[in-house]
Structure 1
């Protein structure tokens, strides 16, 4: 008989990390007899973001992919850098498609239980206790996507920036976009001496996501994003007639703050709350998939789930990069120009995927060789 208040595992939050972890569990027979609860107050019925990533091979996400590209460009005030991504493909998935697919697939498993409640607290004794607005549940282990409350005193010894953005999906009456090429970064339009750029995903010849992005310490009002997006459309795309059919906004922490220190024997922080977002770029989709796979391996081997989730050398690289970007934020354009002009895009993708060779890492570091990075290197040490 199944106890409706006790589970083997509880996953708090049906976002990217929670659903990917649950999907990994249901794809492995080891978990067939494990009772798994997913608790979230939201039913995930809105398209609240677009996830983009790159892959070289077909994957489980193929049927969900909204659009793929094999070419990209990085534009700075000094040059245009055209990138042939092959054998990689850059892919985008709409969050609503991911939510619907994942929840539908999970509901086919009798050992998966969706609970629509708000979690108030997680405590630990002999078991983990999860208190919601309606009930108290127990389990052997909790996977918690709630971001911990971090005081200014806790964060002051770490580098903390925010990747924040707003995007418009616009539709035009005529074919104006090259739908075979994304604009990864266009630095021609700036908000002062800060790292800001425009990002473009052309879904078709007359529809595209146009996003204005900051890598800064402070956020801005929504109207400021709108002003820059409109200016970019008017000045650089020179589009006069268009309709805004959708908008999205987001904030992603770019930090070396050790979220992993909140992991315990009975609780593992996941997603943004677990530091799964790559600190130097904000990329999360494929990193989440990899970390979910590591957790599955740890559970099957009877290890603490958070064992070996992070690679120390990449944490160090991110730490140096973030230090430069925080101390000299205006240098963002130069940094990313060096990244993509002095290294192949395939090397950069491997580096960002944390799959690069030591020789590739040395080459990347050399391309950024400057007094700024030397100072940051020794300050980080």
Structure 2
């Protein structure tokens, strides 16, 4: 076996973030670049689903499983049908993404190292990537998308955790023109927010999911009971349904900082690089933007360092929103219902994705419970001061992310 592989760019981790980078390099015609992908698993098939907002006409269109121009937001008091134009809500399963990345990998002539990474050493000129069972990779730059804990513990640390059933019906059952995005009629946890959603791919096939934003996970039986309850709430007859697949996932929702540039020539992508929006769990759009920025930079002969996933002010907004939800000063169903009731749908969706302007963000903030958010802002400011005056706490480990960024959300 070759003892060392010399490349210009090493992708450490071969999941969604790396796959998007490979596809972007190919899309932007980057050639004469030596690339290695280092991951213990050569990923194929359906192991996760991404959901996100975008405009029709992107290069992702041929890969989508489904998309919707109309979505429903439901609370115990009201049901809102939102027209998302000019945006859409889109579903992308991992199989086509991995297949496109494999084709890009072939066209780029990339080297695949199927081995776990033991450590990386950045001397400022090159990065040594040491593996346990494969060759050492020496790279000019490393893009690392492996899960990593934040730099320190957050003031608020929640999890977005969920289980979904892919349901096949024996007769036309679902409306493929409309998705149920956030249905807050589910029983709400004592501390946190829960909702269900329904993403129909056809009139006989759909993803039905139960999601919680809360500090702790449920048991497997707890998720199944919640899903069965939501299925019954939707008046779906279980005798006419078959569960074809089950999806589970955990995404961190925290104001703890993730270090996107741990050393001069190592750049982190995905959740470890800050691509997950703390208040929503959305990840895919930020990963896609950053992959495109990396490819454009390399095509122009610049370092492959993307912009921060979200404006800095959004980190503060997320910290305040998480604090208000965690302290119970605002209720999740009321909070999201007010956002959609008092703003155009496009503005809310772009806010959830982190692409609004300061003026639009001010309008969104005005639609939230003012006194509660002012109190959360003051509490967050006081907590920040206390953090500066005491030793840093170590951050808890980040649970494995089975699926990146699903409805709001996720």
> TM-score over 0.5 for the alignment?
yes
Q: CA separation of 1:176/1:57 partners in 2, compared to 1, >3 Å: closer, same or farther?
A: closer
d(CA) in 1 for partners of 2:4, 2:68: 46
Decide whether the 8 Å contact of 1:298 with 1:307 is kept in 2.
Answer: no
What is the match of residue 203 of structure 2?
A: 205
Decide whether the 8 Å contact of 2:23 with 2:100 is kept in 1.
Answer: no
Q: Is the partner of 1:361 in helix, strand or coil?
A: helix
Decide whether the 8 Å contact of 1:85 with 1:346 is kept in 2.
Answer: yes
Cα RMSD, aligned residues only: 2.2
Q: CA separation of 1:240/1:304 partners in 2, compared to 1, >3 Å: closer, same or farther?
A: closer
What is the match of residue 12 of structure 2?
A: 12
What is the match of residue 146 of structure 1?
A: 146
What is the match of residue 70 of structure 1?
A: 69
Decide whether the 8 Å contact of 2:165 with 2:247 is kept in 1.
Answer: yes
d(CA) in 2 for partners of 1:233, 1:184: 15
What is the match of residue 169 of structure 2?
A: 172
What is the match of residue 162 of structure 1?
A: 159
What is the match of residue 354 of structure 1?
A: 354
Q: CA separation of 1:308/1:186 partners in 2, compared to 1, >3 Å: closer, same or farther?
A: closer
What is the match of residue 28 of structure 2?
A: 28
d(CA) in 1 for partners of 2:183, 2:89: 17
What is the match of residue 294 of structure 2?
A: 295
What is the match of residue 366 of structure 1?
A: 366
Q: Number of aligned residue pairs: give it.
A: 375
Bigger RCO (CA 8 Å, 6+ sep)? 2
What is the match of residue 98 of structure 2?
A: 99
Q: CA separation of 1:46/1:221 partners in 2, compared to 1, >3 Å: closer, same or farther?
A: farther
Q: CA separation of 1:354/1:58 partners in 2, compared to 1, >3 Å: closer, same or farther?
A: same
Decide whether the 8 Å contact of 2:10 with 2:139 is kept in 1.
Answer: yes
What is the match of residue 231 of structure 2?
A: 233
1:219-259 deviation line (CA, Å, top 9, x unaligned): 11111111111112123324242111111101111122211
1:311-356 deviation line (CA, Å, top 9, x unaligned): 1122221221122122228711111111111111111122223332
Decide whether the 8 Å contact of 2:20 with 2:97 is kept in 1.
Answer: no
d(CA) in 2 for partners of 1:213, 1:308: 27
Decide whether the 8 Å contact of 1:294 with 1:309 is kept in 2.
Answer: no
What is the match of residue 119 of structure 2?
A: 121
Unaligned runs of 5+ in 1: none
Decide whether the 8 Å contact of 1:263 with 1:306 is kept in 2.
Answer: no
d(CA) in 1 for partners of 2:150, 2:352: 27
Q: CA separation of 1:190/1:305 partners in 2, compared to 1, >3 Å: closer, same or farther?
A: same
Matched, 1:321 2:321: yes
Q: CA separation of 1:380/1:117 partners in 2, compared to 1, >3 Å: closer, same or farther?
A: same
Determine which of 176, 187, 197 is the counterpart of 1:190.
187
What is the match of residue 398 of structure 2?
A: none
Q: 1:97: Cα distance to partner?
A: 1.9
Decide whether the 8 Å contact of 1:12 with 1:39 is kept in 2.
Answer: yes
Q: 1:94: Cα distance to partner?
A: 1.1
Moved more, 320-329 or 12-21: 320-329
